[in-house]
A and B are shown apart, each in its own frame.
Chain A
């Protein structure tokens, strides 16, 4: 008996098959930054515990924050927080039924992506201005 002729079954495209829509990128980044901020909670805990332990441990933590790796972690933490904050407000608006159409979703996503970088740079510029 002949084998029945089967056409290749349609496959649901996995995320690495097609070009990412911007809204997909912003959604994935929301997750990634959320997990990053949760781990960044460790930085907050170290800072607060060091403060509670006394001047010596506080100086050590501040020295780490002054080091290249510490600076890099803090900068990444700032961006993740700003991004998650901006995109979180976007999600709250969506939950309220605002801006859920395709065009607005794209524009607000672009704003969040560029705005998060802009706000992060402004925050660090302000911090460096405080150095005097």
Chain B
């Protein structure tokens, strides 16, 4: 999704030609995270003192699985863009900057996949054979 005007696209100007796109994606993910974060904290309050079985039942509940996967995907996408801005602002030496940006991408993608796979495993194993 882009909010750039056709004229701006045709000219191909602007920061890396996609400055507004980055801002827009950050805005969309933050709007999505407003309710998701409330749901997440609320759920953790409920699970804090519960045993292992209760946590499994919670994650395996389809609507919770969906909310968790959404929270993980949107959350790590938001982290990635936020950390990208921080690196842009503070690391000016080009080799370090590129290395930091690549590490940031690896960290967020790998962490997101590890979290998502764990949730999916619990969900799939809970399906009655």
Query: Which residues in A have some Cβ–Cβ distance to B below 8 Å?
Result: 31, 34-35, 37-38, 41-42, 44-45, 48-49, 51-52, 55, 58-59, 78, 81-82, 85, 88-89, 91-92, 95, 123, 126-127, 130-132
Contacts and interface: CB of A to CB of B under 8 A. Distances in A.
A95 B28 CA distance: 12
A52 B79 CA distance: 24
22 contacts: A34-B79, A41-B75, A41-B79, A45-B111, A45-B115, A45-B118, A48-B59, A49-B114, A49-B115, A49-B118, A51-B55, A51-B122, A59-B52, A92-B27, A92-B30, A92-B31, A123-B41, A123-B45, A126-B45, A127-B48, A130-B49, A131-B49
B123 to A, nearest CB: 10
Contacts of B86: 31, 34-35
B88 to A, nearest CB: 12
A58 B59 CA distance: 14
B34 interface: yes
B82 interface: yes
A78 B42 CA distance: 11
Given A48-B118, A89-B34, A55 B52 contact: yes
A91 B78 CA distance: 15
Tell me if A's interface is mostly helix, strand, loop or mixed.
Answer: helix
Contacts, number: 78
Tell me if B's interface is mostly helix, strand, loop or mixed.
Answer: helix
B115 A44 contact: yes
A54 B15 CA distance: 48
B46 A48 contact: no
A81 B114 contact: no
A82 B119 CA distance: 24
Contact of A130 (B45, B82, B121): B45
B79 A48 contact: no
A35 B30 CA distance: 15
Contact of A81 (B30, B37, B52, B115): B37
